[in-house]
A = this chain, B = another copy of it.
Amino acid sequence: MGTTQLETAPEPKYWHLKTVLSEALDSEFSVGEILPNERELAARFGVARATLRQALEQLELEGRLQRRRGVGTTVAPPRVGVAVDPAHHTWPGAPGDDWEPVGAVESQNVPLAVSRLLELAPGEEVHVVHRSRVTHGQPVAAEQLYVPARSVPEAATRTAVDAPARARTVLRELQQLELEGQDRAVELGSARADDAKELDRLPGAPVLVVTTRYFADGRTAAVALSTYRADTCRLTFGDNEADAGVTVLAG
């Protein structure tokens, strides 16, 4: 016989569990259905709760499950396709964009990476416009749009009555400029406490961060940091019409 030790390393329990649960979700559960609680599931599979949780975490990451503290674990609907990059480039706040202005403040305190993209001088004033995006009644994204005061010298945010009006003032001025181009980058991040609250998630939840640079007057005129829920969103780019409706479950 000889030693047959060429075998592949044993599969971790949580990995096997994930596979089993995934198949059960496909065949025995429907969207919105509540799973047994974690202590019950762990007992049923004969593993420690921590191990069971490792499997559930992965399935949540893949958009298969939704877990809510105090409530329970449910089968998640397919991810929602959200159009991020329409073929026709426009300023934020242009007609037809899905974002809701929430407020705006003036600040000298912006993330280092943003100040580099905008090539800010030390102490330079920046309007920070806060917007949110809702699809199918669910909050899917929160955005901070950084607009140097130099880009919109006429924006009179202090005279506006309420917060959304202040935001609209900045957006309106921005649209006076000629948009010369834009680009985007997508990366994985974890939700800051404020964004998490707005997205109805816990701090640290995985998010897709889209960085958009808007070019005008030969320089970067504004930068948007948009934070999308990674569990529920599929970001779409290009020719496609809004929701293609089909989700590729990447597991």
Q: Does A168 contact B (CB under 8 A)?
A: no
Say yes or no: A204 contacts B58, CB within 8 Å: yes
User: How many Å from the CB of A56 to the closest CB on chain B?
Assistant: 13
Q: Does A234 contact B (CB under 8 A)?
A: yes
A231 to B192, alpha carbons, bound, how many Å?
18
Q: Does A244 contact B (CB under 8 A)?
A: yes
A246 to B113, alpha carbons, bound, how many Å?
7
A185 to B242, alpha carbons, bound, how many Å?
11
Query: Binary interface profile of A, 178-220, with partner B (CB < 8 Å = 1, else 0)?
Result: 0001111111111010000000000110111101010100000
A184 to B235, alpha carbons, bound, how many Å?
8
Known A117-B246, A246-B113: A208·B237 in contact at CB below 8 Å: no
A124 to B192, alpha carbons, bound, how many Å?
47
Q: Does A247 contact B (CB under 8 A)?
A: yes
The chain B residue sitting closest to A250, CB to CB, is: B189
A143 to B223, alpha carbons, bound, how many Å?
31
A66 to B185, alpha carbons, bound, how many Å?
21
A192 to B61, alpha carbons, bound, how many Å?
13
Copies of the polypeptide in the assembly: 2
Tell which of B63, B79, B237 touches A237, judged by Cβ atoms closer than 8 Å: B237
Q: Does A136 contact B (CB under 8 A)?
A: no
User: How many Å from the CB of A4 to the closest CB on chain B?
Assistant: 20
Quick one: which of A18, A81, A238 has the most chain B CB within 10 A? A238
CB within 8 Å of B: which of A146-161? Answer: none
Say yes or no: B113 contacts A185, CB within 8 Å: no
Closest 9 pairs between A and B when the two form their complex, measured CB to CB: A189-B250, A183-B238, A183-B240, A209-B250, A113-B248, A188-B230, A187-B234, A184-B237, A183-B239
Other 15 A-B pairs with CB < 8 A, given A62-B190, A185-B237: A61-B189, A85-B85, A116-B246, A181-B238, A181-B239, A182-B239, A184-B236, A184-B237, A184-B238, A185-B240, A190-B251, A211-B248, A213-B244, A215-B239, A237-B237
